[in-house]
Amino acid sequence: MDSESRDLKPVFEPRSVAVIGASNNPTKWGCIILANIVSYGFRGKIYPVNPSEEKILGIKAYPNVMSVNDEVDLAVIARPAEAVPQHIEECAEAGVKAVIAIAGGFRETGKEGEELEKESVRRARKGGLLLVGPNTMGVYSASVNLCALMPPVSPRKGEVALISQSGNIGTNLLGFGSTVGVGFNKFVSSGNEADIECYEYLAYFGSDPNVKVILLYLEGVRSGRKFMRVAEEVSEKKPVIAYKSGRTQAGVRAAKSHSGAMISPNEIVKAVFKQTGIIQATTVNEMLDLAKSFVNLPLPKGKRVGILTWGGGYGVVASDVFEEAGLDVVSLSDDTIRKLSMLLPPYWSKGNPVDLVGVFDRSIQPSCLDIIAGDLNVDIVAALGFIVGSGAFAGAFGGQTHSKEGKNIVKEWIAKADEESMEYIVKLISKYGKPLVAVTATTDMEVVAKAAEKGVVVYPTIETAASVLSKMVQYAKHKKRKEEGRL
Amino acid sequence: MDSESRDLKPVFEPRSVAVIGASNNPTKWGCIILANIVSYGFRGKIYPVNPSEEKILGIKAYPNVMSVNDEVDLAVIARPAEAVPQHIEECAEAGVKAVIAIAGGFRETGKEGEELEKESVRRARKGGLLLVGPNTMGVYSASVNLCALMPPVSPRKGEVALISQSGNIGTNLLGFGSTVGVGFNKFVSSGNEADIECYEYLAYFGSDPNVKVILLYLEGVRSGRKFMRVAEEVSEKKPVIAYKSGRTQAGVRAAKSHSGAMISPNEIVKAVFKQTGIIQATTVNEMLDLAKSFVNLPLPKGKRVGILTWGGGYGVVASDVFEEAGLDVVSLSDDTIRKLSMLLPPYWSKGNPVDLVGVFDRSIQPSCLDIIAGDLNVDIVAALGFIVGSGAFAGAFGGQTHSKEGKNIVKEWIAKADEESMEYIVKLISKYGKPLVAVTATTDMEVVAKAAEKGVVVYPTIETAASVLSKMVQYAKHKKRKEEGRL
């Protein structure tokens, strides 16, 4: 861990949590957050705090945090901004180690709020407390089943950590992650970062052995140098993937950072990220595709791609898109061509992409994939249409002329074949130690999530595949350079 | 219609269709295509042709096309390449006006195939026949309910025409269009374009009053000058949207165009498209987003965008992405700010994007949208999170802790609110004559399709919205320039 970064264990692995402002009124955040903590099954003790209730959600309540007769590691303050400094003081008195200040109404709203924020930080630091936020949607930690979040999100568990400077985008990514099969180990909506800044979360997740990949949604970074140093250190150990907004005047205005110095045009973001080894996500959602890929795939040893396609047109598109992304749609070895020619009709393309020219026999596809993956010229294998998904077909068969029963039969048949294909992909990845990915035009997120559970990466578009794979190649190169530099 | 382009009515509005090579064997294309024509409900007469069957799919069969005792406008030849020239000759003798040669095995396979192709064209032209293909997946026409396609696709009806040089991509777009609510009026898998070339289809669809938008998937264009002239003419009347592959060496290799001259790097594609007014789709799937937008929305009068967002973070991202796409996230008028301030909490952002700062009351959103759309500074309105969709929420509520019944209640509640929002959007579009679009993070294609049916455009990502809207702005400018030039 970075020497200047504090140990954030009380935030992410508390043994006990108090909810200050807990409530039985389901329209209050103090009720919703407590309900989320309880229903997700937090492994430690829970202490609702509210002077006017005896029990909240059936749990014994305390008039204030000092009256809790136990060590409290973490307190969630679900009270208005004006009340926060006072509650922090009480937490300090009670020996609480960390607080999460949910409410907005601080620096982001003007002078008065800024004062409140400064006062909160002052009291937290004086009391030796860690302060998350203010103006945050909360934290999540799979290690202790802590789901202290405002929105009713139920994250899937996994090996990804996410730091988000937007609560909305962060919790949406958690929710969308469930849909597409990306699991999280830790999450923080870092809010105004009045006390704990981005770089401290990054350092903490960097040395957390349960975290394999770190995602960042950034609007601005305060301690730039520290951030860069930590990012450089951490990204040597594990991939750090960031989406940086505030790249235009309009974006900065929207982020309400009134300092003109805070605009970071994309060229500058790119340069800083390149230097520190941070992987830049092109879109917010691409963060999930990148996360899934780094979690499930071995790093590519080079940029040479072998493509298997069921349809010629998509092979052409993939060749263009992969090349334009900086990958190399390489010539296959003579041996590979010879082996494939024994399986495919005489009029096959005899080149890369390997076009199955509409051969219906699905049993040929795995063998072709095996041959391509075994080619020494190939670092990465992309299979188009190998995982089908029922989405495209649901559309195709969606007309008036096809029956619901018939559609379900087709759907189940496709799902079964897809499952076999997934198992085959997993086998080939471990056989050759190369990233092997699938691209499908499906809108069926079930197949995407099921694939992710099995450790198989399915991209919804060729463009996503190309962008993610080229970033994996860049990261692998960066890491290798760093390792060689250290010798 | 272009003077050099022929009338393709026999292909797209035949009164009678013969299927040569029709079969009762369901694994044969001659069975599958006939079944598609029959089951989609072709409005004209159907004549199966096969010398060894009396009836096919219960319909009287004929030993050859000459023995059909009626005028045959169109013949689908579902027979191997070698047999095609002979069948064309017979069609000419029988007075057939157009043929579709399905089989591959022509120019794309080498010398011998090339000869067969030339011979087919020679006989077609001698007999005064139009020839679609060869090496095609067929045609579709909503005007006469003709679905003469190889794959079991059941297109949604609408106002889009599609010309595709890849049968796979073309028919996938038809299928995927059903899923996302894009309806088609006409489609051709143009195959090898041995006789009818791309520009003739383009000219024909250009003067078809049932076609509002034309999509092109292009790998290469043979008669470049004619294509450019027709494209320029047509795109003055209606939007022509194209995805051009073969932009890299690898892409051209995959397209099996062995002529080095055929590579068209993206800069050249861009320049040609700009000159002719063709709108370049960034991805294959973006063609559908563009089609939907041009069909349903008025053209923007300028590039100034007003944004309504439920979550601040997405407002920041949208500001960046829209500006980077060349749109202008404009300052709202004082009057607009004043009106919005009467509806929103005092701490609202007072700028564009209009951030609803987490206000739960959904009834406020329509009023805000109305105020933004009425601002004279605003040409385009984008509403983020206004249409919710159940996809994101299905993920959010997808955890172990939430019941299936509970999820369904939430889903239905969202669906109902979304429907009201859609109706409101339609009203505002007609009230102000400005494009008003929604962006949602949903993966729920039902809501996207339902929206399209109502004439509402919902984009799955902010990036798609920005790209499509900026292309609409460009097209509107091109059209205006052309119109002014003609004065």
pLDDT digits (tens, 9 = 90+) for A398-452: 444 455 666 677 777 788 888 999 999 999 999 999 999 999 876 677 888 889 8
- The position carrying tokens 């040929």 is A364
Same domain for B68 and B127: yes
B472, B327: one domain:
yes
Residue B116 in any domain: the answer is: yes
Count Cβ atoms below 10 Å from residue A322 Cβ, excluding itself.
28
Domain membership flag for residue B486: no
- Label residue B382 exposed, middle or buried (CB < 10 Å: 0-12, 13-18, 19+): buried
Q: Which is more confidently placed, B220 or B5?
A: B220
Among B82, B114, B143, the domain-final residue is B143
End-to-end Cα, chain B, rounded Å = 21
Position B68 scores a pLDDT of 96
B439-453 mean pLDDT = 82
Phi-psi region of A215 (alpha: psi -120 to 50; beta: other; left: phi over 0): beta
- Give the per-residue pLDDT at A443: 67
Dihedral sign (CA A426, A427, A433, A437): negative
**Domain check: are B42 and B126 in the same one?**
yes
Weakest mean pLDDT among A75-79, A152-156, A166-170, B239-243: A152-156
Q: B285 and B325: one domain?
A: no
pLDDT of residue A406: 63
| B201 pLDDT higher than 90 | yes
Assess whether B27 and B76 both reside in one domain.
yes
Q: Is A166 found in the same domain as A142?
A: no
**B254–A353 CB contact, under 8 Å:** yes
Mean pLDDT confidence for A210-216: 98
A151/B329 touch (CB, cutoff 8 Å), yes or no:
no
What pLDDT score does B462 carry? 95
| Confidence band, pLDDT 50/70/90 cuts, at residue A358 | low
Smallest CA–CA distance from B461 into chain A, residue: A285
**Within a domain: residue A487?**
no
A380 is a domain residue: yes
Lowest mean pLDDT among A225-234, A456-465, B265-274: B265-274
Q: Are residues B16 and B110 in the same domain?
A: yes
Report if residue B266 sits inside a domain: yes
Same-domain pairing of A143 and A162: no
Residue at A58 is within a domain: yes
Cα–Cα dist A211/A206, whole Å: 7
* Structure-model confidence comparison of residues A349 and A11, the more confident one: A11
Residue B359 binned pLDDT confidence (cut-offs 50, 70, 90):
low
pLDDT digits (tens, 9 = 90+) for B283-308: 999 999 999 999 999 999 999 999 99
Put simply, the answer to whether B441 touches A176 (Cβ < 8 Å) is: yes
Q: Please provide the size of chain B in residues.
A: 487
Same domain, B374 and B471: yes
Structure-block tokens of residue B345:
């909490």
| Percent of chain A scoring above 90 in pLDDT | 72
Mean predicted lDDT score pLDDT of chain B: 90
* Tokens read off for B208: 């078809």
Domain end point (choices A150, A179, A211): A150
Distance to chain B for A309, nearest Cα, Å: 11
Q: Which of B154, B246, B395 sits opposite A175 (nearest CB)?
A: B395
CATH number of A459's domain:
3.40.50.261
Contact yes or no for B317 and A285 at CB 8 A: no
The yes-or-no verdict on residue B176 having pLDDT over 60 is: yes
User: When comparing pLDDT for A160 and B362, which is higher?
Assistant: A160
- Specify the pLDDT at position A285: 92
In sequence order, the 6+-apart residues with CB closer than 8 A to the CB of B7 are B1, B204
Query: Could you give the maximum distance between any two Cα atoms of chain A, in Å?
Result: 82
β-bridge mates for residue B307, sequence order: B382
B3 has a pLDDT exceeding 80? no
Taking 90 as the threshold, does the pLDDT of residue B394 lie above it? Answer: no
Contact criterion met (CB < 8 Å) for B396 and A153 = yes
* Interatomic CA distance for residues B184 and B215, integer angstroms: 10
* Contact assignment for A313 to B169 by CB distance below 8 Å: yes
Best probe of the B interface among A174, A316, A444, by most B CBs < 10 A, is: A316
Nearest to B390 by CA among B376, B378, B408: B408
Q: Which residues pair with B101 in a beta bridge?
A: B77
Q: DSSP 3-state helix, strand, coil percentages of chain A (rounded to 5)?
A: 45, 15, 35
**What is the structure's pLDDT at A485?**
81
Contact B313 A247 (CB under 8 A): no
> Chain B: nearest CA to A364, how far in angstroms?
18
Assess contact for A78 and A21: CB atoms under 8 A. yes
Q: Which of A138-142, A257-261, B184-188, B245-249 has the lowest mean pLDDT?
A: A257-261
Higher-pLDDT residue of A29, A1: A29
- Assign A394 a pLDDT band (cuts: 50, 70, 90): very low
pLDDT in tens, A270-280: 888 999 999 99
Whether residue A140 sits in one domain with residue A58? yes
For residue A47, the SS3 value is strand
Tally C-beta pairs within 8 A across A and B. Answer: 245
Tell which of B42, B316, B446 to mutate to test the A interface (max A CBs under 10 Å).
B316
In a domain, B178, yes or no: yes
Count how many Cα atoms sit within 13 Å of the Cα of residue B14 in the half-sphere of its side chain: 29
Q: Give the residue numbers spanning the domain of A418.
A: 299-480
Residue B69 maps to which CATH number?
Answer: 3.40.50.720
Asked whether the beta carbons of residue B39 and residue A445 sit closer than 8 angstroms, the reply is no
Torsional class of A7: left (φ above 0), alpha (ψ -120 to 50), beta (otherwise): beta
**Which of B451, B443, B404 shows the shortest CA–CA distance to B423?**
B451
DSSP conformation class of B128: T
Domain membership flag for residue A175: yes
Query: Structurally, how many domains does chain A consist of?
Result: 3
pLDDT of residue B182 exceeding 50, the answer is yes
B318-340 as b/e, with b when 16 or more CB fall inside 10 Å? bbbbbbbbebbbbbbeeebbebb
pLDDT score, position B121: 97
Q: Taking 90 as the threshold, does the pLDDT of residue A346 lie above it?
A: no
What is the rounded distance in angstroms from the CA atom of residue A277 to the CA atom of residue A254? 28
Closest-CA distance of chain B to residue A43, Å: 15
pLDDT higher than threshold 50 for residue B257: no
Token pair recorded at residue B340? 């919005």
Binning pLDDT at 50, 70 and 90, where does residue A5 land?
confident
Q: Which residue type is seen at B289?
A: D
Q: Closest by alpha carbon to A269, among A238, A287, A242, A234?
A: A242
Q: From the list A154, A164, A313, which residue is nearest B401 (CB)? A: A154
Sign of the four-CA dihedral B19, B22, B24, B27? negative
User: Over the stretch B396-438, which tens digit does the pLDDT of each residue have?
Assistant: 444 444 556 666 777 777 888 889 999 999 999 999 999 999 9
Q: What integer pLDDT is reported at residue A395 of this predicted model?
A: 45
Residues from chain B contacting residue A320 (CB–CB below 8 Å): 245-248, 250-251
Q: In chain A, which residue's Cα lies nearest the Cα of B327?
A: A250
Q: How far apart are the first and last CA of chain A?
A: 22
Q: In the prediction, which pLDDT does B397 show?
A: 45
When pLDDT is averaged across residues A150-163 and rounded to a whole number, the result is 93
Residue of B nearest to A189 (CA): B313
pLDDT the model gives residue A399: 43
pLDDT at position A253, please? 85
What tokens appear for A209 in the block?
Answer: 């052995």
Q: Which of A309-313, A452-456, B4-8, B192-196 has the highest mean pLDDT?
A: B192-196
Evaluate if residue B2 carries a pLDDT over 60.
no
Q: Are residues A308 and A236 in the same domain?
A: no
Q: Minimal Cα–Cα distance from A94 to chain B, Å?
A: 32
* Alpha carbon distance B472, B466 (integer Å): 10
Contacts for B227 with CB less than 8 Å, ≥ 6 apart: B197, B198, B199, B202, B221
Q: Are residues A315 and A458 in the same domain?
A: yes
Q: Give the SS3 label for residue B84.
A: helix
Closest CA of chain B from A482, distance in Å: 32
Phi, psi of B347 (to 5 degrees): -90, 20
Assess contact for B162 and B205: CB atoms under 8 A: no
Q: Which of B380, B375, B366, B486 is nearest to B427 (CA)?
A: B366
pLDDT for position A411: 76
Burial classification of residue B383, based on how many CB atoms lie within 10 Å of its CB (0-12 exposed, 13-18 middle, 19 or more buried) = buried
DSSP for A154-167, written as a single string: -PPEEEEEEEES-H
Distance of CA B265 to the CA centre of its chain: 24
Q: What is the pLDDT of residue A391?
A: 53
Instruction: Mark yes or no for CB contact B179/A153 under 8 Å.
Output: no
Query: Tens digits of per-residue pLDDT, B121-133?
Result: 999 999 999 999 9
Question: Which of A236, A268, A296 is the endpoint of a domain?
Answer: A296
**The pLDDT of residue A27:** 85
Cβ separation of A445 and B443 shorter than 8 Å? yes
Q: Name which of B419, B417, B396 is nearest B407 in CA terms.
A: B396
Q: Nearest residue of A to residue B110 by CA position?
A: A347
